[in-house]
Amino acid sequence: MVFKPTHTDFELSPYTGLTRESWIEAAEYLLSGVFNNLKSIEDPVVMPRYEREITYPQPDHPQWRFKAEIFEGLARSFFIAAPLVHIKPELELNGINVRDYYAKQVLCAVTPGEPNYVLNYTDMKSTDESGNLFAAYQQTVETAALVICLWMSAEEIWDKYSKEEKDRIAAFLSDFAHANTVPQNWRLFNMLDLAFLYMNGYEIDEDIMRDHAQNILHYYVGDGWYRDGHSFDYYSCWAFNMYTAIWNNWYGYEKEPYIAARFEENSNELMKTYPYFFDRDGFTNMWGRSGIYRNAATSAIDGNLMMKNPTVDPGLARRICSGSLLQFFTRDDFLWEGVPTLGFYGPFSPLLQGYSCAESPFWLAKALLCLHLPEDHPFWTARENGGIWDELKDKETKVWTLDGPGLCMANHQANGITELRTGKIVKHKDDEHGMNNYSKLVFNSKFPWEATVDRAVESQQYVVRYTDEDMALRGNVTYWAGEKDEVLYRRQFFDYEMETECHWRTAIDLADFAVPYGIIRADKIRMYRRPLEVTLGAFGFPDNGTDVTFLEKNGARAAVLKGHDHTGKEKQMAFTIFDGWSSIERIDSEGTNPDSKKSIVMYAKTSRQKQYGYEPYFLISQVITKESLEDFTEDEIFPIEKVEYTDPQNCGGYGPVTIHLKSGETRVIDFYGIEGRFSV
């Protein structure tokens, strides 16, 4: 059963119709699925599980992993319940009072001897045989969710506990708060635990708090983004830019005003461009390692609204948050047995990682935390607006390039799609999951990334195969050089490893620029050895009955695909190859597309034979998409009038390459000197 709100107001919310009452309905819809799987108030939130190969717990896992699943279910579903409990204290689902359930289960979770006790840090460390002196456990993550929810439902739950019960919870939290944590976004979990304790009169080590806070602050790279490991993703938004706002209110503004002021400045900086990571419909792009959290990416907007002086436009904010909610809640494959699937839309195992369990997707409920905002808050009362989408001219594309995190967004007026190009990526050469999540050359808000379809072909990625050894390589490291004259420059290495000098690694210099419906690529191969074969896949196309047409004009070739996605929405894509390529080919796949069971990947192919031969270096191509079966024009499919090379051989080995478009515009591709501009 899909979510269908009964309360709508298309005057206040002309884009989505959703109001605060609609959001309350959405929260009840999601929480009902949880409670329909509970037989009584004694049951933990351990949900039905269909996937057992990748996610935890596994049969050979230590006891704490099984307890962690219980805690994930409790704390993350509490994200949904906490604002509802405050709004509707007497709410009952499946015959169970929601407030009473969480009040009871929180106590069970922190009380040794209770069946649903989830273990404190000391208990886990004492039985840990790994030898890791700095071990951290999943439960630390969930403590932060717990304190946020106890704060949101304080009048209904926390304030009703006896002093002994509060002390019991506080001791459990303090054990985690003062213990080891993972040295990245996890520091924020400890900070929130400490802040909650301080706010409620419990003693904390303020030096530990200060150490975590200064580290978090110095992960900042600019443009509102924080570095969280080698690569950037939505963790910067739903962790750094959400939790710092809560921390500011609980602790920072009072105790660490300098750090709190920087956190607020960074949040406001993020809001200058973050709304344009989402497309015209408010859709969240499938990007990064935790796509199962879906619309949790919008929680950074709520975080900004919690600051003393927020800058986000509330009407645009609600439009994005509501659009992203509808992106998922209105699909018939979103839930399995009432619980969000382990996928982006329906079940999709290529997205999963070993630290997730059946209850992990409830992290998406961070998007629902905006329900803590009172009904007279501008977030609820402002009229929805589309921001820049309302201002773009016909077929105009607005490009935002952020050098700090190495991110570039293109908002296409012609199709309403947002395309994201990323850099500063470092993944192990065997990390297929990481490369799918981060190394795609373009991420498209309406064509989510396709998983591996063939060892020699990937969607929106180059694959290089050494034909003398039949060895296929994929891009695992991407350098960032930024934008110049409307062209974005990057470099992608294949099979990169620190042990080997980079000149002994195959690479491609990447240059691309936006056109009304997509991106044109003009990339240059940098190969230290040949013979080799190169392929480049287009976006994966959901195949629910697809019409494929091949076209040719003045030596350029194109494949045009028309069809529908899982929900029946019209889809169209045109993939065109120009200089440097030999052919367009097709692969049909199953189980590799997050939208539909079957899919098609069109790909370009070419080869280079001479070890040191002066053969064509440039690979020029285009992918354009739209949510309509209305034909692209011929000039949209074949937009290049001519390509002008500096070298007389027209190979692009040296000198600028000028692409003349039929629109009258030109783009100059010049890789000379970018060696000094790379960052990672």
The pLDDT of residue 130 is above 90: no
pLDDT digits (tens, 9 = 90+) for 304-318: 999 999 999 999 999
Q: How far is CA 354 from the centre of its chain?
A: 17
How large is the average pLDDT for residues 528-550? Answer: 97
Q: What is the pLDDT of residue 129?
A: 87
For the chain, the first-to-last Cα distance in angstroms comes to: 45
pLDDT of residue 230: 84
Buried b / exposed e over 40-51, threshold 16 CB at 10 Å, is eeebbbbbebeb
Structure tokens at 200: 């409620």
The pLDDT of residue 617: 97
Protein fold of 398-677? Beta-galactosidase; Chain A, domain 5 (2.70.98)
Q: How far is it, in rounded angstroms, from Cα 186 to Cα 174?
A: 15
Share of the chain above pLDDT 70, in %: 100
Compute how many other C-beta atoms are within 10 angstroms of the C-beta atom of residue 595.
27
Neighbouring-strand partners of residue 335: 340
Provide the pairing of β-strand 507-515 with 598-608. Answer: unpaired
Cα 343 to Cα 50: distance, rounded to the nearest angstrom: 12
Is the pLDDT at 231 greater than 90? The verdict is: no
Q: What pLDDT does residue 555 have?
A: 96
Range(s) of the chain covered by CATH 2.70.98? 398-677
Assigned token pair, 611: 């070890």
pLDDT tens across 666-678, in order? 999 999 999 999 9
* Of 536, 469, 526, residue with least CA distance to 502: 526
pLDDT grade for 432, boundaries at 50, 70 and 90: very high
| Bridge partner list, 234 | none
The pairing of beta strand 640-645 with beta strand 618-626: unpaired
| Averaged pLDDT for residues 612-618 | 94
As a whole number of angstroms, the distance between CA 544 and CA 542 comes to 6
- 102: three-class secondary structure by DSSP: helix
Whether pLDDT at 133 is above 90: no
pLDDT of 657 above 90: yes
The CATH label, of 1.10.287, 1.50.10, 3.40.50, 1.10.3470, for the domain at 20-389 is 1.50.10
Average pLDDT over residues 616-628: 98
Q: Are 267 and 249 in contact (CB under 8 A)?
A: no
Every domain of the chain with CATH number 1.50.10 lies at 20-389
Task: Decide if pLDDT at 503 tops 90.
Answer: no
Rounded Cα distance between 515 and 519, Å, is 6
Interacting residues of 609 by C-beta distance below 8 A, sequence separation 6+: 530, 531, 615
Residue 52 in this model has a pLDDT that exceeds 90: yes
Return the closest-CA partner of residue 140 out of 113, 126, 122: 122
Contact between 475 and 656 under an 8 Å Cβ cutoff? The reply is: no
Task: Read off the pLDDT of residues 367-389 as tens digits, 9 standing for 90 and up.
Answer: 999 999 999 999 999 999 999 99
**Span 202-227, pLDDT tens digits:** 999 999 999 999 999 999 999 999 99
**pLDDT for position 574:** 98
Give 153-194 pLDDT, tens digit per residue. Answer: 999 999 999 999 999 999 999 999 999 999 999 999 999 999
**Average pLDDT along the chain:** 97
Look up the pTM and report it.
0.97
Can you list the positions of beta strands (E) in 487-613? 487-494, 507-515, 518-526, 532-537, 541-542, 547-553, 556-564, 570-577, 583-590, 598-608
